[in-house]
Structure 1
Amino acid sequence: MNRSDAIKSIAAQASQGELTFPTNLDAALKIQRTLDDPDCHIETAAKLVLTEPLLAARTVAIANSVAYNRSGDQITNVRTAVMRLGFRTMQSLAASLVVRQFSSKITDPALRAKAAKLWEHTAHVAALAHVIARRVTHLDPETAMFAAIVHEVGGFYLLSRAEQFPGLLDSDPDDWVDNGEADIGRAVLQKLAVPDAVMSAVESLWYGFLALPPETLGDTLLLANDLAPVASPLHQRAGATSKESASTIDYAVGEGTMQSILEESADEVKSLTSALLA
């Protein structure tokens, strides 16, 4: 089966709600749903986080990152980390666990390498989106980070199905929206109950063009994606600015400039990226 036929087959299944998720995804989704509950208690959240070692380690790491630890006081336990981060950030971290679970059952070394590179790209975009939202577009940074974490979920889903569909990833990676991949990504996002505003922002990566200066959540994602030092191994956004030119774009932002903000936030971005990759 060639790539086009494979994509059409998966897209047809997705359009009917027939999505094949890893069995270990259930636990991650349970954590996400619990954190979404406004009545969830801090003790309940901490205990749930502790059931997933990867999430527990990442929670403590994020809480100790420059972005969330302005005082420099190091945290050594999950409960205190959850209190520092708050449930909004924890929802993003739970989403990161959900996204990474898609690649947990991949056995092919080449596909595993692609999945690892895709998560590295995602982590960079998430850290940049957090800073850009807070310092440039003045949007909720937690929403921006969440949108960035899920922006490649369709790609992770395709990687999780690639061993069942030989040839799925054989052709040019630049035609992401041409043969149904966007439909697959949209179906996965809907299955994961991603809010409409975040869905629209992610769709901007498939069809949109970056406005300068950036203003919307979609612009925030587009700019973070273009500035990320690690590109997606699956596709390039249509019309994307090259990394070299994106990194040299400068314009006034309040009393500073885009470049000055990126320079001032370099440690924050590095710390947050490292914590997400931990």
Structure 2
Amino acid sequence: MNKLEAFGHIAALAIRGELVFPTSVNAALRVQLALDDPECPIDKAISLVLAEPILAARTVAIANSAMFNRSGAPAITNVRGAIIRIGYHNLYALAAAMVVRQFGSKITDPEVRAKAEQLWDHTIHVAALARIIARQVTGVNPDTALFAAIVHEVGGFYLLSRADEFPGLLEDDPENWQPASEEIITREVMNKLSIPEPVAEAIEGLRDGFLSIPPDNLLDTLLLANHLSPVPSPLAGPQREIPPHSDSAIDLFIDEDKLKSMLEESEIDAAAMSAALLV
């Protein structure tokens, strides 16, 4: 099966809703579904997290990371304290990170696994940057930006998780028809994961979106974070890149000192997130 046939087959399955998710993904999805209700009682949230030992450990770890404890407060030693510190929105994002990460957990092909690891590193850096950009530049909700960045490559992760079954996915794409097929698959995966519409729209806009000057929305936040990420996506093509003049455009709204500070902070946050979410 060549690349065109592989993409066509997976896209057809996605359209029919026949998506293959690891069992661990379904468990994390249950947590996400409950946390999607802002009125979810904290005791229910705690019980859901405790029912997933990996998620419980990650929740406490990230609550104690530099990302959420810059003041040097005493270490959190329980899930209740961790949830109170990071909040429901970030717990929701953490569950989403587990979903994304688990897609690559069963990959056996060394080449595909290497791509999945690079995509994960890229995702973590984009997530750290998006949260900072939202807070300091675009003015969108930083929690939403963090969540959107964590799931922005979920379609790519899903495709890599199926590459062992469809080796043709790794073939070169000289005719550049892959983006259209990937867009269909990404849309259906996001639908299956119940990604909120505003977030889904921003992610879909990454394919051919343009950076606003000044940047002021979620799509701009993701475009900037992707552009500034020190780790590129192994799946990126020209259609995912903001125009080459963007560096000079960025100078219009982020001065050199501020950009340096943002990049340094994002490196610290990315390292903290990577350690806390290590699987």
- Fold-level match, TM-score > 0.5? yes
Aligned to 1:217: 218
CA displacement 1:33-64 (0-9 Å, x = unmatched) = 12123332223323322333433333233323
* Alignment-derived partner of residue 41 in structure 1: 41
**Which amino acid in structure 1 is aligned with residue 98 of structure 2?**
L
Q: 1:247 to 1:229 in 2, by over 3 A?
A: farther
Partner residue, 1:240: 241
Aligned equivalent of 2:260: 263
Contact conserved, 1:174 with 1:238, CA < 8 A, in 2?
no
Could you say which residue in structure 2 is the equivalent of 1:138? 139
1:123 aligns to what?
124
Q: Aligned partners of 1:215 and 1:58: how far apart in 2?
A: 32
Q: What residue in structure 2 maps to residue 159 of structure 1?
A: 160
Match of 1:64 in 2: 64
Aligned-residue sequence identity (percent) comes to: 55
Out of 88-97 and 242-251, give the one that drifted further.
Answer: 242-251
Q: Which moved more, 1:117-126 or 1:174-183?
A: 174-183
Figure out how many residues of one structure are paired with residues of the other and give that number. 274
Provide, for residues 115-136 of structure 1, a one-character-per-residue CA deviation record: whole Å limited to 9, x for no partner: 1111110000000000000110
Please report how far the alpha carbon of residue 13 of structure 1 lies from its aligned counterpart in structure 2 after TM superposition: 1.2
Normalised TM-score (structure 1): 0.89
Unaligned runs of 5+ in 1: none
Pick closer, same or farther for the CA change 1:198–1:179 going to 2, 3 Å. closer
Runs of 4+ more than 6 Å apart = 242-245
Change in 2 beyond 3 A, CA 1:258/1:67: farther
Deviation at 1:12, TM superposition (A): 1.2
Question: Aligned residue for 2:169?
Answer: 168
Letter in 2 for 1:210: L
Greater CA drift, 134-143 or 11-20: 11-20
1:110 paired residue number: 111
RMSD across aligned C-alpha pairs, in angstroms? 2.4
Contact 1:227 1:246 in 2 (8 A): no
Aligned to 2:200: 199
CA contact (8 A) 2:65 2:273 kept: no
Asked if structure 2 preserves the Cα contact closer than 8 Å seen for 1:55 and 1:97, the reply is yes
- Quick one: which amino acid aligns to residue 267 of structure 2? K
Unpaired segments ≥5 residues, structure 2? none
Look up the match of 1:275.
272
Q: CA deviation at 1:172?
A: 4.1
Distance 1:173 1:228, change over 3 A: farther
With over 3 angstroms needed to count, the CA separation of the structure-2 counterparts of 1:159 and 1:20, relative to structure 1, is same
Whole-angstrom distance in 1 between the partners of 2:173 and 2:225: 23
Task: Write the deviation string for residues 176-198 of structure 1: whole angstroms up to 9, x where unpaired.
Answer: 75441111001100111111100
Q: Give the corresponding residue for 1:98.
A: 99
Amino acid at match of 1:48: L
Q: Which residue of 2 aligns with 1:182?
A: 183
**Contact 1:65/1:268 (8 A) holds in 2:** no
Match of 1:128, as an amino acid?
A: L
CA gap of 1:261–1:137, structure 2 versus 1, over 3 A, is same
Q: Deviations over 1:54-95 (max 9, x none)?
A: 333332333233342232113233221111011011111111
Distance (whole Å) between structure 2 residues aligned to residue 7 and residue 166 of structure 1: 11
- Sort the Cα spacing of 1:239 and 1:191 in 2 relative to 1 into closer, same or farther, 3 A: closer
